Structures are given as C-alpha cells and as structure tokens.
Amino acid sequence: MKKLLTLLFAAGWLAGCSSVPSSKSSAPLPPQTRAGGYYLDDGPEANPPKNLDQVPDAVPRDEPLHKFANRPYEVMGKNYTPMREREPLRQTGVASWYGKRYHGRKTSSGEVYDMYGMTAAHPTLPIPSYVKVTSLDNGRSVIVRVNDRGPFHSDRVIDLSYTAAWKLGLLGKGSGRVTVESVGPDTEAVTPLAASAPLEAVPLAPPEPAPRSEQSQAAAPAAGIYVQLGAFGSLENARKLLARARAALAIPAERAQIAFVGNLHRVKLGPFADHGEASGWVERSSAALGVAAITVTR
C-alpha cells in the first residue's frame, strides 16, 4: 500500500511538471508588421491606399507662424518652449509614427490630421515649418510639414504621418533612427503638394530695412550651391552671425553674405562648385560656430 501511494504521488508530480510551459515555447511571437506594438491600439487602417508611393513630399513655402500653436506648454510635467523663429536645426534620434487612432482628429495647429499626408509632429519646431527626415538605416529621405506637437518620449525626436513612415521604411519596425534637418523655400525642388487650408496665424515681425551699404541685401545671391548658417527675422542678429562667421572661418567677405529671402535674413556662404565642397563647409561651420548649417540650392 505504501509503495502504491508513493507511485501515485510520483505520477501526479510528473503530470504537474508537464503542464508548466517552457519559457522558450510559450506564446508565439507577434507578426513582423507589429514589431514594437501599436500604442493604445494605434496603427494602420485595414485597407490603406495602394498608391502611397505617388503621394508627393511637402513643398516648403513661406507661411506665417500660427497664432496659438507656438506658445510655451507643459506635458506630463515637462515644459516645452517652441521656437519663434525659423532657424537651422539638425537632430539625430528616433522617429516614430501615428496612425488611425488620430486620423481625422485636430492637430495642435487646428488642422485635421491626415495619416496619408506628408506631415509630422515635433515638440518645439515652429508651426508650421518644414523638415527633411532621412533614415539612417537605408538612406531614404522625405520632406514633411510640421503641424502638430509631439512626441513626448525622451528617446524620440519626431512623429511622422503614416505615409511618411511608409516612405522611410519605418512601418514594420514602428520606429527608427533618423536625421531631422530644417528646410525652407529655397530647398531643392520636390514634387508639389496641394496647399492646405489657411491657418489662423500671426506673421513674423516685419524685417528691418537694410541699409544701402549692405551689398548682400541689394540683390538675391546668384544661382548655385550655398551653405546657410542661420535665418533670422532680425537683421541685427543676422549681422552678428555674419561677423562671427567671417572671423572664425577666415572666408572672403564676398563669399559670406546676408540674403533677404522669404521674409528672413539668411546668412549664407558660397556659392560653391559642388555639393562635396559645400558639405565640407557645413561640417566646418557647424563645428566652428556651433550652428546647424545646411546646404541650400538656388
């Protein structure tokens, strides 16, 4: 009897062990398209359009700043102060995207979010403004119009629309490393995008009149490849940066200019013979002056 009880106990113990799942063979892994998951059930719609490759990038144009969307604000205990002037910006970090949960809802600018457009959300860039986003994984680039606020995660720098993320190859992963660069109307041409409805907005302060002695203000620079060091509503601020650039870079005065383009005073170097030479000056200028220099083409 004692042996029988022992055998029954051992059999029951073994049966119990066989019901404990192995840590390596528990629930199946989620499908590739949902890597990273969708926050609050956000994600793509069941039947997204099939012609996303034909959606043109946003076309940078001069627009007045929005009246309310550029005020300081607080989210989750953190304060944010949006930029009040369109200055050069270059960031490297993680881009994410938002989809059907917010599709059709109003953005911070009051515009309705269209997940199939070419837009983005940024915590502090002026609304509206334009940026070029480049994937560090595959080198693909898009130009999007910033019309919303976010993301509010410490490791992310920008939230993209569904289509922008699709073009960059970010949909499957949910996020990816990118470079974000501010761009303006004098950026190299891209496929036109239909203009959106006008916003309730307040224009930038009118530019100060330039003195006749400022040669760079007399006429727009000649066509070519330039390096833009900064763009200011204030001529005085542009002059200060110009003086610093001429001193730090030892560049001839005729190749460091202030051009009044698109209601902004733009400090530019050039023109340069090719993009390779211009890229060298972008790196040199950024290091010497602490600015986010960018290449522009007229």
State the pLDDT at residue 187.
59
pLDDT in tens, 3-25: 444 444 444 444 443 333 333 23
CA distances from 152 to 26, 75, 142, 188, 248 (A): 34, 8, 22, 31, 37
pLDDT in tens, 170-215: 988 889 999 999 998 865 533 333 333 333 333 333 334 444 334 3
Which of 98, 100, 97, 147 is closest to 126 using CA atoms?
147
Separation of alpha carbons 91 and 136, rounded Å: 12
pLDDT in tens, 87-120: 888 899 999 998 777 788 899 999 998 888 999 9
Q: How confident is the model at residue 43 (pLDDT cuts 50, 70, 90)?
A: low
State the pLDDT at residue 133.
96
Q: CB–CB of 122/158 below 8 Å?
A: yes
pLDDT at 240 over 70: yes
Q: How confident is the model at residue 79 (pLDDT cuts 50, 70, 90)?
A: very high
Separation of alpha carbons 215 and 100, rounded Å: 52
Q: CB–CB of 117/90 below 8 Å?
A: no
Q: Which domains does the chain have, with CATH numbers?
A: 33-191 (2.40.40.10), 215-297 (3.30.70.1070)
